[in-house]
């Protein structure tokens, strides 16, 4: 590749605290010359100017936001000197190849290179005036005494312009990808006080940001943060347990979008190999790419993929800017990891898709791995315990992403501390685009899971999770969804008035006799209830069915059992408590529709997995008095906690309206003592019974007939 002639900016010094401000115009000129881009994106210019003025900088930009430009441009500004880039090996290979393509002198030093290549690079660095602009190294190399002394020499010659630490979250044990080798970078600030340090990450968790800045000892850094929204990515989750053949489903996705470039992430290397073989069977050109391959094979896979010889890579870490689909074949271990990996899609800003295949077994496997790690680490050191617990909490945020029916984009952004409205999504996630479908899948998934658990497995569908307390208990709630949910809530229209109103539109001959009028009224009433029935069928699509309530109660029951095993000393009875908790969920969101109800159940299950005995006793306090009662297996368990009483009152009230408007859960109506009251007949029932009685000889004047008339008036 031909070397592009340099276009350095005129600068007097490369020292820190140099107050020279590089103007936007000149920097844009450089950008256009070397990269062909019209202008800087987001906070790129701010970062570049801060660094060039000698200031430390912490730059938080979403995946694909253009972080590398923040150190690549400074490398091209100065006439001489090197920008040292510390980043994981996989990124080095990609970036160096891309820079060389553009004629920019960049190299990486790693154990994967032959010694002759390495020697050449060392010679270049040692030379009086290296033409090298960017040198990529791993954190492990920085830690070696030999390389440190080499860097010290370069710096002494005034040739170390900048130290950029990409993927800087790796330094934080709070991050999703902690690498102990990054810890060794802490000494860089004191070793090279005159060189600005730029830390870059796409990990937005505030704890991680703080940790990165402190661990790298950045001095008065300029902190730049951008929004994490990736508007060009459509987010979708598919449920493995509801698919007949997940491999063919994925193949169809990959085929239906044409021969687009895709990455499929798997949890393990063997899974990469296995999936790649499956995809090949379906006629999709794919290859596995992971650290388990030998260097030669890895390089050739990367080359084939970059040159579009193969469509799909099944990977544990890889990059290209026109990736259209990023698929997670297994649930990732945290939202941060998911965000970063899914963010590999659409780095060219064009429409792309993130598709996650969520499976109950995958979730259990990951939980097992994390719990095991937790066990081992807490044995080894108490200090690690918090860290390990955090991994489980992080993972459960990911579970929530998959199992909740609220906007996925909102969930991602909220996870990173950004409060946004779901309208931001503009229907670019499956939950916003097909809310009813997702709710249906989730319901099916719950049922599937309960059936599986009944089939012998001791585990439950959703256990686990983050600290959910009463205050933020409905973490799935969002006002936009609330509004849409309420549309489907049961209306309280006055049926009597509605029948009469409709009658007004019908024609009844003026000179009709009593019997004709009665027949007419009866037909009108039947017609009215027919249409009411159709209407309520429509509404019921989102209604919480009894079977959903029962399967939810089963889930809560399983979760409660696990909590009891975990905590040991719980006195509350399992059945009673599960019924109580289910009733609580139903009371809160039963009428809003199944999506919210479902989310609330999920949230309660997670709460059970982390709650303490005290919290549990507090919450179940309302049924403490009934703890001594024998357990009943029915959903209609007569544990009349306050919530339940409220319900039965509602049911009683609704029992005076016609049958089609009975309460959503008839079981509850019948569990109410007040349900023993005799049912009041509808108008038709009254007329029919009247007709039947007319045929019968009268027993007493005014007896039954009079009573019926009275009831009719009550209606």
67/240 with CB nearer Mg ion: 67
Which neighbouring-strand residues pair with 313?
A: 263, 287
Shortest Cβ distance from residue 201 to ligand ATP (Å)? 8
64 binds, options Mg ion, ligand ATP, none, Cβ within 5 to 8 A by partner type: ligand ATP
Per-residue binding letters, 676-715, with Mg ion (x by CB under 5 A) = ----------------------------------------
Contact 117, 53 (CB under 8 A): no
CB of 313 to ligand ATP, least distance (A): 15
Closest separation in Å from C-beta 442 to ligand ATP: 31
80 versus 306: smaller Cβ distance to ligand ATP: 306
- Distance between CA atoms of 28 and 705, rounded to whole angstroms? 94
| Separation CA 265–CA 42 (nearest Å) | 28
Q: Which residues bind ligand ATP (CB under 6 A)?
A: 37, 40-41, 44, 61, 63-69, 202, 321, 343, 347
Among residues 44 and 604, whose Cβ is nearest to ligand ATP? 44
Residue (of 118, 152, 123) closest to 136 by Cα position: 118
Q: Which is nearer to ligand ATP, 68 or 173 (CB)?
A: 68
Coil, helix or strand at residue 683:
helix
DSSP, residue by residue, 73-125: HHHHHSSS-EEEEE--HHHHHHHHHHHHHTT--EEEE-TTS-HHHHHHHHHHH
Nearest residue to ligand ATP, scored by beta-carbon proximity = 66
Nearest approach in angstroms of CB 37 to Mg ion is: 16
By a kind-dependent CB cut-off of 5 to 8 A, residue 404 interacts, out of Mg ion, ligand ATP, none, with none
Distance CA 430, CA 445 (A): 16
Nearest residue (CB) to Mg ion, 337 versus 623: 337
- DSSP 8-class letter at 289: E
Minimum distance from residue 43 beta carbon to ligand ATP (Å): 11
Binding mask 395-434 for Mg ion (x = CB under 5 A): ----------------------------------------
Binding-site partner at residue 670 among ligand ATP, Mg ion, none, CB < 5 to 8 Å by type: none
Token pair in block for residue 481: 């969804």
Site for Mg ion in 46-105 (CB under 5 A): 67
Nearer to Mg ion, 200 or 442 (CB): 200
CB closer to ligand ATP, 289 vs 461: 289
Residues contacting residue 548 through CB under 8 Å, at least 6 positions apart: 443, 446, 447, 594, 597, 598
Burial 506-543, CB ≥16 within 10 A → b, else e: eeeeeeeeeeeebebbbebbeebbeebeeebeeeeebb
Contact between residue 243 and residue 249 where contact means Cβ atoms under 8 Å apart: yes
φ/ψ bin of 372: left (φ > 0), alpha (ψ from -120 to 50), beta (otherwise): alpha
The nearest distance, CB 192 to ligand ATP, in angstroms, is: 23
How near is the Cβ of 232 to ligand ATP at its closest, in Å? 12
Q: Which residue has the tokens 């030998």?
A: 294
Partner touching 37 among Mg ion, ligand ATP, none, CB below 5 to 8 Å by kind:
ligand ATP
Q: Which does 69 bind (CB under 5 to 8 A by kind): Mg ion, ligand ATP, none?
A: ligand ATP
Cα gap 555→461, rounded to integer Å: 7
Of 63 and 215, CB closest to Mg ion: 63
- Residues contributing to the site for Mg ion (CB under 5 A): 67
């Amino acid at each position: 590749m031909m070397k592009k002639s340099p276009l350095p900016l005129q600068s007097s010094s490369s020292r820190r605290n140099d107050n020279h401000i590089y103007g936007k115009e000149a920097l844009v000129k450089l950008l256009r010359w070397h990269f062909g881009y019209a202008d800087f994106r987001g906070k790129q210019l701010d970062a570049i100017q801060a660094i060039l003025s000698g200031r430390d900088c912490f730059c938080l930009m979403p995946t694909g936001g253009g972080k590398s430009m923040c150190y690549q441009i400074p490398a091209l500004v100065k006439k001489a000197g090197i920008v040292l880039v510390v980043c994981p090996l996989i990124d080095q290979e990609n970036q160096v190849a891309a820079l060389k393509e553009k004629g920019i002198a960049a190299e990486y030093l790693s154990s994967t290179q032959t010694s002759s290549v390495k020697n050449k690079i060392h010679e270049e660095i040692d030379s009086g005036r290296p033409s090298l602009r960017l040198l990529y190294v791993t954190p492990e190399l920085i830690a070696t005494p030999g390389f440190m002394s080499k860097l010290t020499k370069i710096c002494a010659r005034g040739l170390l312009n900048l130290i950029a630490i990409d993927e800087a979250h790796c330094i934080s044990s709070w991050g999703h990808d902690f690498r102990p080798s990054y810890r060794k970078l802490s000494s860089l600030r004191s070793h090279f006080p005159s060189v600005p340090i730029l830390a870059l990450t796409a990990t937005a968790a505030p704890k991680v940001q703080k940790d990165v800045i402190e661990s790298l000892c950045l001095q008065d850094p300029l902190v730049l943060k951008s929004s994490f929204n990736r508007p060009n990515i459509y987010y979708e989750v598919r449920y493995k347990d509801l698919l007949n053949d997940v491999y063919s489903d994925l193949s169809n996705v990959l085929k239906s979008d044409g021969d687009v470039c895709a990455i499929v992430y798997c949890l393990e290397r063997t899974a990469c190999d296995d999936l790649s073989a499956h995809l090949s069977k379906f006629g999709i050109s794919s290859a596995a790419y992971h650290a388990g391959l030998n260097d030669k094979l890895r390089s050739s896979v990367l080359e084939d993929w970059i040159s579009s010889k193969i469509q799909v890579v099944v990977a544990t870490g890889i990059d290209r800017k026109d990736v259209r689909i990023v698929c997670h074949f297994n649930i990732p271990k945290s939202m941060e990891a998911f965000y970063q990996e899914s963010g590999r899609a659409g780095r060219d800003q064009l429409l792309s898709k993130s598709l996650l295949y969520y499976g109950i077994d995958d979730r259990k496997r990951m939980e097992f791995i994390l719990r095991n790690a937790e066990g081992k680490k807490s044995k080894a050191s108490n200090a690690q315990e918090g860290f390990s617990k955090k991994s489980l909490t992080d993972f459960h945020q990911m579970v929530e992403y998959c199992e909740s029916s609220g906007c996925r984009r909102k969930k991602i952004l909220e996870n990173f501390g950004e409060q946004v409205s779901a309208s931001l999504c503009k229907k670019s996630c499956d939950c916003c685009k097909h809310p009813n479908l997702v709710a249906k899948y989730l319901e099916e998934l719950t049922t599937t899971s309960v059936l599986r658990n009944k089939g012998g497995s001791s585990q439950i569908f959703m256990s686990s999770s983050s600290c959910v307390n009463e205050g933020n208990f409905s973490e799935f709630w969002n006002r936009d969804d609330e509004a849409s949910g309420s549309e489907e809530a049961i209306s309280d229209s006055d049926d009597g008035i509605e029948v009469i109103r409709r009658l007004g539109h019908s024609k009844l001959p003026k000179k009709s006799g009593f019997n004709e009028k009665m027949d007419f009224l009866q037909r009108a009433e039947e017609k009215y209830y027919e249409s009411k029935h159709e209407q309520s069928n429509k509404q019921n699509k989102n209604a919480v069915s009894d079977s959903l309530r029962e399967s939810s109660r089963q889930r809560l029951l399983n979760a409660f059992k696990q909590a009891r095993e975990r905590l040991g000393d719980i006195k509350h009875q399992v059945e009673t408590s599960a019924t109580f908790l289910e009733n609580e969920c139903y009371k809160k969101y039963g009428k809003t529709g199944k999506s919210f109800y479902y989310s609330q159940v999920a949230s309660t299950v997670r709460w059970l997995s982390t709650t303490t005995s005290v919290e549990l006793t507090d919450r179940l306090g309302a049924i403490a008095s009934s703890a001594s009662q024998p357990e009943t297996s029915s959903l209609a368990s007569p544990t009349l906690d306050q919530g339940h009483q409220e319900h039965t009152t509602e049911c009683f009230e609704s029992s005076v309206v016609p049958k089609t408007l009975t309460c959503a859960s008839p079981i509850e109506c019948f569990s109410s003592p007040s349900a023993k009251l005799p049912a009041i007949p509808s108008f038709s029932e009254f007329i029919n019974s009247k007709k039947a009685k007319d045929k019968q000889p009268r027993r007493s004047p005014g007896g039954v007939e009079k009573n019926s008339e009275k009831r009719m008036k009550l209606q």
